[in-house]
Amino acid sequence: MTSQEFTSGQPLNTAIDKAIADPMTANLPQLLKEFDYLISQLPRAAQLRVAGEILSRLAEIIAARARWLFDEWEEQYTPLEEEEPVLTAAMLQEVLRQSMTLHLDEFMEHPDFHRTYIPTESVAGEVEKSNLLEFAEMLDQEQAMEEALSLAHQEDVSVWIQAIQEWMQREGKEVSLIRLQKMLKKPLIELWLGLLLGGFALEQRGEFYQTESVWVKDVNG
């Protein structure tokens, strides 16, 4: 671009610089009008070259706006690791098998002997820290279950169930637990109670205790 051409297009170049710096507030229709006017004032021999340079800069604005929109979408729909809910054993005990009992009494012959009881004295010793932590965790899980049951009695669970059913009938028959919580904007404990008491099917599509691998299916619809 010659000195004369650059000077005549300086206002447009300044406007483009500002638009690239803040693409979401850029007025693209106005920039295109100024572009058309500038090109019409140039000699025909210079129009193609100048138009190519300015169009390249206008494309930068569109690319910058696209990057900004993509970043916004990714931030909204990709949950941060620290924001992901943590599922406790108490929350999952209704849907996961904890133990299995196999009775073999009828196939086994009981030994014929008399048990001798030997009195023992109680022994006091130091309890390891790991055992205390496990015991404390068990108390926390029992307390969480009691709070969940208390919440179910106090609140109208049918309203939660209806909200889940209406969303799934409108949006689809299956959805990941993470997406369902985001769409309904409900606490995880309310969502779990609604799913468990509403007869919805839960499917594990990955490793256990990974929230993102739990999927919900509507078997009522």
Domain boundaries, the chain: 3-77, 137-221
pLDDT above 70: residue 5:
no
pLDDT above 70: residue 144:
no
Task: Give the range among 49-58, 103-112, 117-126, 175-184 with minimum mean pLDDT.
Answer: 117-126
Contacts of 191 (CB under 8 A, 6+ apart): 160, 164, 177, 180, 181, 184
Q: What are the residues facing 203 on neighbouring strands?
A: 215
Q: What are the residues facing 204 on neighbouring strands?
A: 214
- Residue-wise pLDDT for 74-116, tens only, equals 887 765 555 566 667 676 666 666 566 666 666 666 666 555 5
Amino acid 94: pLDDT: 63
pLDDT cut 70: percent of the chain above it: 56
Amino acid 110: pLDDT: 61
Task: Count how many Cα atoms sit within 13 Å of the Cα of residue 213 in the half-sphere of its side chain.
Answer: 7
DSSP calls for 15-31: HHHHHHHSGGG--HHHH
**Whole-model pTM over 0.85:** no
Task: Show the tokens assigned to 125.
Answer: 């010793």
How far, in Å, CA of 129 to CA of 132, rounded?
A: 5
SS3 32: helix
Amino acid 127: pLDDT: 42
DSSP calls for 43-104: -HHHHHHHHHHHHHHHHHHHHHHHHHHHHHHHHHHS--GGGS----HHHHTTTS--------
The DSSP bridge pattern shows strands 201-204 and 214-217 to be antiparallel
